[in-house]
Each structure stands twice: as structure tokens, then as C-alpha cells.
Amino acid sequence: MMKMLKFLLVILFGITVAACGGGEGSEGGAGGGAISATATTTAQNLTVGVAMVSFSPLTPSGSAIPYTYSYTGTLPAGLNFNASTGAVTGTPTATYATANLVFSVQDANKAVAGTTSTVSFTVL
């Protein structure tokens, strides 16, 4: 009986530690340390009705995954932004005067990378 009680306590302790994020691998994913990112700032000169090549303005590394991406500004009509991958895809449906969008990325711990990517979008 005593061995069974000790066994249950060990299991319960292990479950509690795991649920609280303790133990090995508690950083939320691969990597560790501060989040960093490499920016791709290639201007996106697009044409109405022509699908764009998928574009990822930031490549993060380090820290806790998953990463979450965001941007400020307004994407041209018909384009989509994936907050899980950071990719911009789609087919522009209307002309769009040149405007800059600023992309950023944060890690699972809500730490934001110091590098952002400013990208110019134009649709003719």
C-alpha cells in the first residue's frame, strides 16, 4: 500500500511539474535565448490579377517557438497575411499606391525581435 501511494505521488508530482512548464524543454520549443530575425525588404511591385510569389519578410531564429507575426499598415486588396508563418500571398484585385508596411515577429514568450522589415507594396 505504501509503495502504491509513493508511486501515485511521484506521478502526480510529474504531472504538476509538466503542467506548470517545469523540467527540461520548458522554453516552449526549440532554441533558447533572445529572439532575433533577418529581414527581407524586397519591394513588391505587383500587377492586378496576377498572383504574387509567396513572400516572407522576416526569418526569425532562437528563443521559444511558435513565432507569431504581425504588421502595421494596409495590405493591398486580394493579398493575405498568415500570422503563423509570416507569409504574404494572394492575387491583388485593385491598384494600390505605393505604401510601406512594417512586419514584426514575437516568440511564444511574447518577446519581440529587435529587427523589423519595412516592405514597399505597389499594385498597378
> Phi and psi (nearest 5°) for 13?
-65, -45
Instruction: Count the domains in the chain.
Output: 1
> What is the CATH classification number for the domain harbouring 80?
2.60.40.10
Strands 117-123 and 44-46: parallel
Q: Is residue 9 part of a domain?
A: no
**pLDDT the model gives residue 19:** 35
Q: Name the residue with higher pLDDT: 3 or 90.
A: 90
Q: Is residue 10 part of a domain?
A: no
Q: Is residue 94 part of a domain?
A: yes
76/93 Cα distance (integer angstroms): 8
**pLDDT the model gives residue 33:** 84
Q: Is the pLDDT of residue 18 over 90?
A: no
**pLDDT the model gives residue 3:** 52
The predicted model gives 43-48 an average pLDDT of 98
91/78 Cα distance (integer angstroms): 5
For the chain, give the percent of residues with pLDDT over 70: 74
For the chain, give the percent of residues with pLDDT over 90: 73
Beta strands in 40-95 (DSSP E): 44-46, 58-61, 68-72, 79-81, 88-90
**pLDDT the model gives residue 67:** 98
**pLDDT the model gives residue 25:** 38
The predicted model gives 28-54 an average pLDDT of 89
Which residue range is the domain that position 110 belongs to? 29-123
Task: Label residue 8 by pLDDT band (50, 70, 90).
Answer: very low
Residues 76-104 have pLDDT tens digits of: 999 999 999 999 999 999 999 999 999 99
